[in-house]
Structure 1
Amino acid sequence: MRQVTPLTDGWILRHPDGTGGTLPASVPGCVHTDLMAAGLIPDPFLGRNEAEVAWVGRRDWTYETELRAGPGTYEQTDLVFDGLDTVAEVLLDGRPLGRTRNMHRSYRFDVTGLSGRLTVRFASAYAEAEAVRGTVGERPGAYAEPYQYLRKMACSFGWDWGPTLVTAGIWRPVRLEHWSTARIARVRPLVTVEDGVGRVELAVDVERSRVEAPLTVEAAVGGMRARAEIDGTRGTVRLRVPDARLWWPRGYGEQPLYDLELTLLHGEDALDTWRRRIGFRTVELDTSADAHGTGFTLAVNGERLFARGVNWIPDDVFPSRVTRERYRRRLEQAAGAGVDLVRVWGGGIYESEDFYDACDELGLLVWQDFPFACAAYPEEQPLRGEVEAEARENVVRLMPHPSLVLWNGNNENLWGFRDWGWEPGLAGDSWGEGYYLGVLPRVVAESDPTRPYTAGSPWSGSWLRHPNDPAHGTHHSWEVWNRSDYADYRLDVPRFVAEFGWQAPPAYATLRRALPGEEPAPDSPGMLHHQKADDGNGKLERGLARHFAVPEGDFDRWHYLTQVNQARAVAAGVEHWRSHWPVCAGTVVWQLNDCWPVTSWAAIDGDGREKPLYHELRRLYADRLLTVRRDGDGLVVAAVNQSAEDWRGALRLRRMSVDGTVIAEAGPVLAAGARSVAVTEVPAELVPSGPEEFLVADAGRVRALHFPAPDREIPYPRPDFEVALAPDGITVTARTLVRDLLLQADRLDPDARADRGLVTLLPGEEVTIGVRGWKTPDPRTARSALYCVEPTR
């Protein structure tokens, strides 16, 4: 049986020129984390330290350890790297074993009978990128850094939410594999289900050390077994699982997973095993034309669904630090917010098995981008061969996961070619189209025909239309954040909104940790350094001024109001687009998470703290949602019912004054069928007539509010409320209208967390806010951490 020896201990890091001595190295890891552990560089996440460590990415680095020969009872020993970041030469006692130039691939070297000093020399990613650029010529990109010239995590070169920390190192596990006769080289599992019968077809490739040895493979899943012979180096084994239980996205059913095991046999001697968990389900992508344009609707097990999504970026700019537990925690947060789809964005990586395992278990659908983002990518060698090799490896690696439902060719590159001034400058040079419309769909069709592929996001499906046409395919909505008010989300109904979002600063405690010794202000040095978006603060200020009087010199109010504005902006889009199901079939909010402490579009900040947007997503992505929208000169209430049961009952409508007076009231019948939207017209006498009035719509515990004017025009009363301690939290009782009350629990204690975000209370209503991690509960300190909208002075 194949034996595995992890190579995690005894590594050292040095400069290739021999200067500076050596220091202990962690494997998996990277140069930055090793230098930090040795106290040689400061934490680049703090203050403006990022600039002080920029030199690290421009140096060459060497990792070394001692490699001992494997046990003599095995015929072959392989040295296997699951990930090398990025351009490296691997040597054993000075003898070259091979060279690498792709962070997204694994590598295997024959070291049978060898021992000695194992050396991995990493060249600067900048040097490699500049050399490739010199060979293939200049290509445009959204950022000045040369990330499109090598196969590396693009966002390590910085983004509009991320630091420029260009890494190098052995970023995934490394090991020795000892084996005899043959080993399993690759397994390509095709998992389908038809008429309740699960079908598994395993295409198996083996590597032999003895050509003449007869080999068989045996597979087992769900109590069923089957065998097949290996013909040369390949074989196929097929299994049928009667009455297979279907895997469903969260909210639609359960997520049963089956243990699948494949054993390679020589006679009855087991030589190698391969194990995965699989799930039986079907997935389709409906892109057919209709009266509204061209759709983009996912269907799982025949059930068409509105995708309640978030975009995922690498959870740390040093991805080797993201543990299985951290993946699980972040994805549980996503599931807790009602999310059912996670898009792995194209400027990052193919994530580890831990990520996809958690999605399988939690019922989170995965939309997987191939790693191309916001640039023209050359199609010449050495890149073209690397792209195909990485795609083939990762498509097969991720195929077992039922959560994976869509392959996407790139992020914004088709759009960029048409709209960002690339086309004239390229003058016929390659820019990536051959990947997105040629190489990648061919690899997916050949390797993984069970899943749909789309050429890019956004993409209208044809060059006959604009790539970002909202009426066709996927759409990215960024004009609103960049140039207008979030109310403009309501001006159209895209078929599928794959990106949109609004910025806000991170939690207060996150800022205090990230900016030691600095009193934060919107334009303080540290705050500006941790704002990477072009004119980011300007857009925050202009977006705020459309709704509120911008507080001058009051950071706490500015911090609160920008977080309110973020939650309201995303709510404006999601409510509107969900209410137009099935024309619009999904929203994917930019973004779920951050890779460091920064002002960004994230719902969960770089320290893992949940912004008010996170809690708002719980409301927006709940199975049942009420929203009020304009319809001509009047208003309608849309009842969005994504649950499997009908939603019936009374709809209580109240036209109210901000002083708490009920001006008019009605109780029409609500009747929304399962997986549908029901629209009820608001009687004319209930439509608010001015900024001092608003509409309340209640259906059981689900509420929608409609204020017809910006907050700066509304004559709010001075908020008045009582605060009392409750078991594991506080209770707030309103004496007046209290709009968007927020407990910033991290102001009570950096470890404290509240179980809810913004809540609006009518006079006489109360809310209990759960708080965990609060060491010394006190209603007076709680009041100091409570914020709400106040009347304009």
Structure 2
Amino acid sequence: MKEAVQLTEGWSLDHDGSSLSAQVPGCVHTDLLTAGLIPDPYLGLNESEVAWVGRRAWTYSRNLEPAQTAAERHERTDLVFDGLDTAAVITLDGHELGRTRNMHRRYRFDVTDRHGPLHVEFASAYEEAEAVRALTGERPNVYPEPFQYIRKMACSFGWDWGPTLVTAGMWRPVRLERWSTARLAEVRPLVTVHDGAGRVELRIDIERTGQGADRHLEVSAQVGGVQAHGTVVGDSALLILDVPDPDLWWPRGYGEQPLYDLEVTLVSRGTEGTESRHLDSWSRRIGFRDVVLDRSADEHGTGFIFVVNGVPVFARGVNWIPDDVFPSRITPDRYRTRLRQAAEAGIDLVRIWGGGIYEDDAFYDVCDELGLMVWQDFLFACAAYPEEQPLRGEVEAEARDNVVRLMPHPSLVLWNGNNENLWGFRDWDWEPALAGDSWGGGYYLDLLPRLVAELDPTRSYTAGSPWSGSWDHHPNDPAHGTHHSWEVWNRRDYAEYRDSVPRFVAEFGWQAPPALATLRRALPGERLAPDSPGMLHHQKAEDGNGKLNRGVARHFRLPEDDFDRWHYLTQVVQARAVAAGIEHWRSHWPVCAGTVVWQLNDCWPVSSWAAVDGDGRLKPLYHELRRVYADRLLTLQPGADCPVLAVVNQSAEPWHATVTLRRMRADGTVVAERQLDLTVPARQVYRQTVPGELAPDALATKEFLVADADADGLRAVHFPVADKDFAYPAPHYDVAVGTPVGSGGGSVEIVVTAHTLVRDLLLQADRLGPDAVCDSGLHTLLPGEQVRLRVNNAAETGANAVRAALFCVEPA
């Protein structure tokens, strides 16, 4: 029977001739932090102070002991690394075991009957990248860092939301595997559903020892009460398990997520009179579902619709980046927390972006359980990638490794070749600069689709995002396939999201700073201002603050010398911008079949597009996502002459709604009112132009439109002019604070009663304590209305403190 011994203890890191205790899994930065030899690079300007770490070579060492007992003396002992970051030489007792140059692969070395000093010597990632660049030649990219010349997490070299912290180390587990006769080298389950029946086709590869070369081997498998047995022929076997009427796995909101234990066993069949011997086993949880990517042409262009178990799905998505620049610090509990936040916001698809990592199995396990579909990028982003050796072989090995590792997960619904590289080749002046040199097209259009077809033919593959499906159309053509919408954030007003209806919006977003408590922790002692040194250092986007300020100034008077007000308004604009896009595009289902917001999470404290900041605090955008991604959505869209009411029903049941439309004055007077009794079928959208007498004039500064579905508690508002031009009354409201329940602040209810129109009321809970959390975000109240806010873990609950934490839109 195979056994594994984890090698987590006993490692040391060489630092300037001295030996530091090292943690495995881990990295150089975290070990130096633990030893107190570098400052926290997430705080202040410290990132710059530790830049030297990524430019040095580092060596990890420990002693590998000989086998001590007969039980340990198997025929074969392998040293297994699940992740080495990145260019390393591994030696044991002075003899080289091998060299690596890929963070995204697993490595296995035969160390049978070998012991002694074990060293893992990491070269500087910069030196490795420069050596490869010297072989392949220069290629363009979007950042002045050499990330495309090394198979490493690209964003460790910095991004427009991330720091430049170039890591090295054993970032995933290390172990010894001891085995005899044979082991299960690779198990590929192809899971399909046809006419309600499930099938698992298991393709199994075996590795044998020299002594096991001629042994008779058998494999067996079981799932859902069905068993199958077979004989190993050569070094492979094929088993098929037909499971009648399995419970189907669904995305969240469409059904349940039943998971089945799939178990595979390898045995050596004994000769006559001897017992069979159990050699190895493999187990995963799988789910039965059918996912088709419908890319049919129609009168609108070329579609991009996920069809799950025969049901077309509007994908309510977010983009995912590594949750920490030091990925070894991301625990299973942290994955679960972040992904549960996603599910609770109505999200049903998570796109793993191509500049990060293939995440740990714990990530996909949680997605399986929560019904979060996973769109997995292969790891190429925003650069021209050489296709010559040594990179080409690494790319193929990496893809094979990860396709096989991840394919058991039912949540995985799509393989995507790259992020923005097809677009960059055509549109970012790469093509003339390359002058015929390779740039990655052979990976995305040939190698990767062939590998997916060979290894995981049950899943769809798309060459890139954005991608129109062929070179017959511009790669980012909104009418064909996936589209990235960045012109709005970069140059325009968020209202211009409504100017087009892309078939699938795979990236769009708007920035805002993190929560105030996050800024205070990350920038200790700094007097906060939009352009204070720490704020600027923790703003990595090109002209990021300029774009933030212009986004505010289009709608509000830009505050001067009032950081709190600037902070509130930038967060309001972020939430409104993303909501404007999603509401518009959802209202055009099924022409538009999905939105994937950039981005769910952050990897450190930074001004960015994230809904959850680098300390895990929820921005107002998060709560707005929960509203606009709900199964039922009420929205008012600007129209040619009058606003359009859109009632979106993504639930499985018809929606019988009574919608009250009110044309109101700024002082709360109702000018005109009408009720509409509507029935919206399941998974459909109802659109109606608002009757003329209810529509405020296009230039009205004192009238607005409100739509309420009272029974459902849903509201939409339409103001015909920008906030800075609207005649808001001075906001007036009462605040009542309940008695805290529980220890340490516990839970407290806050009731706000409006006496005037109160637009975009927001309680910034972290002002009541760094751990305080509010259950909701922005609220617009009419005179006489109340909102109840639940706050947990507040250190301060006095009325004055609560009032100081409340913000709303004020007259210009």
Normalising by the smaller structure, the TM-score range is: over 0.9
Aligned to 1:55: 52
SS at match of 1:667: strand
Whole-Å Cα distance in 2 between the matches of residues 544 and 777 of structure 1?
Answer: 31
1:93 positional shift = 1.3
SS at match of 1:668: strand
1:328 aligns with 2:323: no
Aligned to 1:74: 74
Choose the corresponding residue for 1:709, options 721, 725, 731. Answer: 721
Aligned to 1:296: 304
Aligned to 2:236: 234
Aligned to 2:733: 721
Whole-Å Cα distance in 2 between the matches of residues 280 and 330 of structure 1?
Answer: 25
Aligned to 2:142: 142
1:279 aligns with 2:281: no
Q: Which amino acid aligns with 1:590?
A: W
Structure 1 length-normalised TM: 0.99
1:240 positional shift = 1.2
Q: Percent identity?
A: 71
Q: Which amino acid aligns with 2:245?
A: D
Q: Which amino acid aligns with 1:236?
A: L
Q: Which amino acid aligns with 1:691?
A: T
Write the deviation string for residues 19-60 of structure 1: whole angstroms up to 9, x where unpaired: 341100000000000000000000000000000000000000
1:324·1:355 contact (CA, 8 Å) conserved in 2? yes
Aligned to 1:8: 8
SS at match of 2:185: strand
Aligned to 1:685: 693
1:649 positional shift = 2.7
1:528 aligns with 2:525: no
Pairing of 1:336-375 with structure 2 (within 5 A): 336-375=344-383
Q: What residue ranges of structure 2 are gaps of 5+ in the alignment?
A: 270-275, 740-747
Pairing of 1:16-415 with structure 2 (within 5 A): 19-70=16-67, 71-72=69-70, 73-209=73-209, 210-267=212-269, 268-415=276-423
Whole-Å Cα distance in 1 between the matches of residues 171 and 246 of structure 2?
Answer: 38
Write the deviation string for residues 228-277 of structure 1: whole angstroms up to 9, x where unpaired: 10001100111111110000000000000000100001123210000100
Write the deviation string for residues 744-768 of structure 1: whole angstroms up to 9, x where unpaired: 0100100100010011111111011
Q: What residue ranges of structure 1 are gaps of 5+ in the alignment?
A: none
Aligned length: 789
Choose the corresponding residue for 2:677, options 652, 658, 669. Answer: 669
1:428 aligns with 2:436: yes
1:776 positional shift = 4.2
Whole-Å Cα distance in 2 between the matches of residues 108 and 97 of structure 1?
Answer: 10
Q: Which amino acid aligns with 2:264?
A: L
Q: Which amino acid aligns with 2:789?
A: I
Runs of 4+ more than 6 Å apart: none
Whole-Å Cα distance in 2 between the matches of residues 62 and 630 of structure 1?
Answer: 61
Whole-Å Cα distance in 2 between the matches of residues 20 and 41 of structure 1?
Answer: 17
SS at match of 1:550: coil
Whole-Å Cα distance in 2 between the matches of residues 630 and 750 of structure 1?
Answer: 39
1:681 positional shift = 2.0
Aligned to 1:637: 645
1:140 positional shift = 0.1
1:635 positional shift = 1.6
1:313·1:593 contact (CA, 8 Å) conserved in 2? yes
Choose the corresponding residue for 2:705, options 674, 690, 695. Answer: 695
Q: Which amino acid aligns with 1:113?
A: D
Pairing of 1:560-599 with structure 2 (within 5 A): 560-599=568-607
1:135 positional shift = 0.7
Whole-Å Cα distance in 1 between the matches of residues 784 and 525 of structure 2?
Answer: 43
Whole-Å Cα distance in 2 between the matches of residues 729 and 419 of structure 1?
Answer: 53
SS at match of 1:463: coil
Whole-Å Cα distance in 2 between the matches of residues 423 and 649 of structure 1?
Answer: 53
Write the deviation string for residues 574-632 of structure 1: whole angstroms up to 9, x where unpaired: 00000000000000000000000000000000000000000000000000001111232
1:730·1:779 contact (CA, 8 Å) conserved in 2? no
SS at match of 1:207: strand
SS at match of 2:696: coil
1:775 positional shift = 3.3
1:768 aligns with 2:788: yes
Report the aligned-residue RMSD.
Answer: 0.8
1:69·1:112 contact (CA, 8 Å) conserved in 2? no
SS at match of 1:374: coil
Whole-Å Cα distance in 2 between the matches of residues 595 and 650 of structure 1?
Answer: 44
1:717·1:737 contact (CA, 8 Å) conserved in 2? yes
Q: Which amino acid aligns with 1:777?
A: T
SS at match of 1:634: coil
Aligned to 2:488: 480
Whole-Å Cα distance in 2 between the matches of residues 779 and 724 of structure 1?
Answer: 7
Choose the corresponding residue for 2:764, options 744, 749, 755. Answer: 744
Q: Which amino acid aligns with 1:118?
A: L
Whole-Å Cα distance in 2 between the matches of residues 517 and 193 of structure 1?
Answer: 59
